[in-house]
Structure 1
Amino acid sequence: MSPALSQQRAAPAVACAARLGGRAGSSSSIASSRRPGSRAAPRRQTLQGRQAALEVACSLNNSAGTAVPKPLKLDERDTLRLALPSKGRMAEDTLQLLKDCQLSVVKPNPRQYVARISQLPDLEVWFQRATDVVRKLITGDVDLGIVGLDMLAEIGNDDPDVVVLHDALDFGQCHLALGVPTGGRFAAINSLEELRSMPWSEQAPLRVVTGYQNIARKYFAEKGFENVVLLSADGALEAAPAMGSADIILDLVSTGVTLRENNLKQIAGGTIMHSQGALVANRRALLERPGLLEICHELLERLEAHLTANAYYSVIANMRGGSAAEVSLRLLQNAELAGLSGPTVSRVYTLGADGKAEPHLYAATICVPKKRLYPAIGGSGVLVQPMTYIFDEEPPRWRHLLDTLGVSADSLDLS
């Protein structure tokens, strides 16, 4: 059986219908095979019977791109739309990031799903489930969206109409990985190669429960697995191996605590992808909707300035030296003290014995990466301040976007 999980046996667009712990209706392919008048089949099925049903129920879309239907042309509307996650930690972190960039989302009624950003009057904010953020972005119902890279990969499925504007918004960090039982026949399995070498067969395939069907299908095919069945579940996937419903899981991992508490482990080579919040857009909207590229420029400029500054502290220290040039040279010779483009050095005046101002010290101002702060300052009498923005002449990701679209900045009003 191919690593495509017997997908050729069913229509390619059929979604995984079998749900672990679901009602009998979730295995409708078995129930429909009973002839009228015959006795009902026993509720407990053989492994082969269960797997045969699951292989049909879990067929996936094999084609490149997404299965989401697209309109031939974008709908006509006067406003531009940004979709944000509506619930959970991702939603909270998204709103906080926009607030930190002076782009607070104004939502008059907490029950409403439409909001505004005062600084961007031509932009509507729509709150959607994470999966719908991607789907509506693909169909053009929204023009921009903030979503996790994992959800973009699963639902977007490499859709050419999806453009990633910023892939590192510095929140929602996690990774998609395999969770393998720590005991039993998996006790000695510590790598992907060892997992693949186990005696899986068509009668006893590797059963993987996951909410990321598209990603899982591609992953196991690329890694050379055969005899794999993907299962779907709502909720706590970690319980499935202990219940005997699945062999392993494929799910998001943040700290790994939940895996360990459920007697699961990560294995070498078992990380599929790393994920965090990302700003994405509809390619056709970028090219066709007036004003959207200008809004993208402002969003990227603010995001880049804040995220860059968030990694640094501003440090001011008084230093002795014969001249400003001498102090500057001492700082420049240390990579940790050189700052972004070099230190700013100025005289510090103190009151002398004769009552006159005398320059005995120099104040040096530099930007230091947060993780290198203590090795850099190495003493006391130093003023440390957080930074809010570090504006570049032009955000690198903006230049990359223009190159991707084949658009010249001269044709845009970026004033």
Structure 2
Amino acid sequence: MWRNCCDLTVTIAIMLTTMNLPLHTAVSVRSRSWCCYASLSVPQPQAKPQLLNGNPPSRPADRKEIRLGLPSKGRMSADTLELLKNCQLSVKQVNPRQYVAEIPQLSNLEVWFQRPKDIVRKLLSGDLDLGIVGLDTVSEHGQSNEDLIIVHEALEYGDCRLSLAIPQYGIFENVNSLEELAKMPQWTEDKPLRVATGFTYLGPKFMKESGLKHVTFSTADGALEAAPAMGIADAILDLVSSGTTLKENNLKEIKGGVVLESQAVLIASRKSMIQRKGVLETTHEMLERLEAHLRAIGQFTVTANMRGSSAEEVAERILSQPSLAGLQGPTVSPVFCKRDGKVTADYYAIVICVPKKALYKSIQQLRAIGGSGVLISPLTYIFDEETPRWRQLLSELGL
């Protein structure tokens, strides 16, 4: 047995010295008695690197794989995976708890699940080549960096707006615009307008460009709507979707207070597309697949038979109806049948592409000009000529 804690400390010190481990000793005085405490710093085991197909991840400088960053959680993540699936780019994840996956249709591509802001940061650092995030995230954390290029600016989900909101009551009751807010005499150098936000780059930038001089910002995440009611802020700058949460917390948006409209976008690293082998080709394929699918959303193929004397005469009748023009005009082809031993064409099949909102009206117009046997099927993809976005991307890259 040890006679006191000092004997214990000496014993531990000898053990640590034998093991070549560091020793830290603290001395404390309590009730005129000395007591020693020894704390041991034990090296923690290093986490094993995550494996993809049995291989450890490569360093940015020497990796050969192309990397795509996707949101790891929430609605944005689910909608992103759904969009890629609809483009025949399903993400294959061996273990749902791993942050790395693959898209079998795109060779040499790794998918990395990250927080949206980390996707932007890692694009800038060279750890990722491509990413899908909200425009608000790109604008806040990319801060207009020239290495970030928006390849597709409208993936048609994740819609929201970054907006300034103020209380509906008190001194703000009759304030309904940014201009009126700026003219309020309450804001001085000693007592500025206090704005709570998580957008510490876009917020000050917007206020400066809008001419509001006396403004101070406090950083906050989460439920910003409570800040004005708690008295810790006069206004908030946050993402708004439907606006219901603002109303439930007695807040209102004001005219001129929208910083930006946001939705999901496909972004890429300029350096990666120019310097890293295969990135530009992968970007092109992803862009084409996305364009073809998004173009087809809400579009239907309408096929019908029409009696006529010639394809030109049938086409003339179709083009007389404004809802039947299709994408570039109707396709008219003869429907052959055998009569009295001869092949003849009394009917013509017409094929047009019609948006969903005009579908029933188009059917009515087809019937009015002699159409029958109308068949309707939804479109999955519309591959057009080379997308203007691709030509614009090549122009930005100087290629």
Residue in structure 2 matching 1:130, options 109, 116, 130: 116
Q: Which has the larger radius of gyration?
A: 2
Residue in structure 2 matching 1:144, options 130, 137, 140: 130
Q: Which one-letter code corresponds to 2:110 in the other structure? A: E
Query: Is the 8 Å Cα contact of residues 74 and 285 (structure 1) preserved in structure 2?
Result: no
C-alpha displacement at 1:210, in angstroms?
A: 1.0
Q: How many angstroms apart in 2 are the aligned matches of 1:218 and 1:335?
A: 47
C-alpha displacement at 1:264, in angstroms?
A: 1.4
User: What is the match of residue 265 of structure 1?
Assistant: 252
Seen in structure 2, the aligned counterparts of structure 1 residues 361 and 190 have a Cα distance that, compared at 3 Å, is: farther
Q: Does 1:115 align with 2:107?
A: no
Seen in structure 2, the aligned counterparts of structure 1 residues 207 and 375 have a Cα distance that, compared at 3 Å, is: farther
- Higher mean C-alpha deviation, range 140-149 or range 189-198: 189-198
Residue in structure 1 matching 2:78, options 73, 92, 96: 92
Q: How many angstroms apart in 1 are the aligned matches of 2:206 and 2:94?
A: 44
Deviations 1:243-289 (A, max 9, x none): 11111111111111111111111211111111111111111111110
User: What is the match of residue 237 of structure 1?
Assistant: 224
SS in 1 for 2:107: coil
Q: How many angstroms apart in 2 are the aligned matches of 1:372 and 1:272?
A: 34
Seen in structure 2, the aligned counterparts of structure 1 residues 318 and 241 have a Cα distance that, compared at 3 Å, is: farther
Seen in structure 2, the aligned counterparts of structure 1 residues 180 and 362 have a Cα distance that, compared at 3 Å, is: farther
Q: Does 1:182 align with 2:174?
A: no
Q: How many angstroms apart in 1 are the aligned matches of 2:110 and 2:122?
A: 14
Q: Does 1:315 align with 2:307?
A: no
C-alpha displacement at 1:393, in angstroms?
A: 2.6
Deviations 1:281-317 (A, max 9, x none): 1111111101111111111111111111114221223
C-alpha displacement at 1:330, in angstroms?
A: 2.7
Q: How many angstroms apart in 1 are the aligned matches of 2:135 and 2:333?
A: 45
Q: Number of aligned residue pairs: give it.
A: 334
Deviations 1:119-155 (A, max 9, x none): 1120000000011000001101011111100000000
Q: Which has the higher contact order (CA 8 A, sep 6+)?
A: 1
Q: Which one-letter code corresponds to 1:227 in the other structure? A: H
- Higher mean C-alpha deviation, range 179-188 or range 80-89: 179-188
C-alpha displacement at 1:369, in angstroms?
A: 2.2
User: What is the match of residue 397 of structure 1?
Assistant: 389
User: What is the match of residue 251 of structure 1?
Assistant: 238
Q: Does 1:78 align with 2:81?
A: no
C-alpha displacement at 1:175, in angstroms?
A: 1.1
Q: Which one-letter code corresponds to 2:77 in the other structure? A: A
Q: Which one-letter code corresponds to 2:360 in the other structure? A: Y
C-alpha displacement at 1:115, in angstroms?
A: 0.2
Q: How many angstroms apart in 2 are the aligned matches of 1:370 and 1:293?
A: 34
User: What is the match of residue 360 of structure 2?
Assistant: 374
Structure-to-structure mapping, 1:8-407, within 5 angstroms: 75-199=61-185, 200-348=187-335, 360-378=346-364, 382-407=374-399
Alignment gaps of 5+ in structure 1: 1-72, 408-415
Q: How many angstroms apart in 1 are the aligned matches of 2:250 and 2:345?
A: 66
Seen in structure 2, the aligned counterparts of structure 1 residues 149 and 374 have a Cα distance that, compared at 3 Å, is: same
Q: Which one-letter code corresponds to 1:79 in the other structure? A: E
Deviations 1:323-375 (A, max 9, x none): 321221233344432111211123456898x8998755433211112333333
C-alpha displacement at 1:118, in angstroms?
A: 0.4
Query: Is the 8 Å Cα contact of residues 292 and 383 (structure 2) preserved in structure 1?
Result: yes
- Higher mean C-alpha deviation, range 334-343 or range 286-295: 334-343
Q: Which one-letter code corresponds to 2:284 in the other structure? A: H
Say what the alpha-carbon RMSD is for the aligned residues.
2.1
SS in 1 for 2:255: coil
Q: How many angstroms apart in 1 are the aligned matches of 2:61 and 2:322?
A: 53
Query: Is the 8 Å Cα contact of residues 70 and 133 (structure 2) preserved in structure 1?
Result: yes
- Higher mean C-alpha deviation, range 110-119 or range 235-244: 235-244
SS in 2 for 1:294: helix
Q: How many angstroms apart in 2 are the aligned matches of 1:291 and 1:166?
A: 19
Q: Which one-letter code corresponds to 1:336 in the other structure? A: S
- Higher mean C-alpha deviation, range 247-256 or range 106-115: 247-256
Percent identity (aligned): 57
Q: How many angstroms apart in 2 are the aligned matches of 1:364 and 1:296?
A: 36
Query: Is the 8 Å Cα contact of residues 197 and 221 (structure 2) preserved in structure 1?
Result: no
Q: How many angstroms apart in 2 are the aligned matches of 1:188 and 1:349?
A: 73
Q: Which one-letter code corresponds to 2:156 in the other structure? A: D
SS in 1 for 2:118: helix
Q: Which one-letter code corresponds to 1:389 in the other structure? A: Y
SS in 2 for 1:133: helix
Q: How many angstroms apart in 2 are the aligned matches of 1:135 and 1:252?
A: 20
Seen in structure 2, the aligned counterparts of structure 1 residues 163 and 357 have a Cα distance that, compared at 3 Å, is: same
SS in 2 for 1:179: strand
SS in 1 for 2:254: coil
Q: How many angstroms apart in 2 are the aligned matches of 1:351 and 1:264?
A: 73
- Higher mean C-alpha deviation, range 249-258 or range 370-379: 370-379
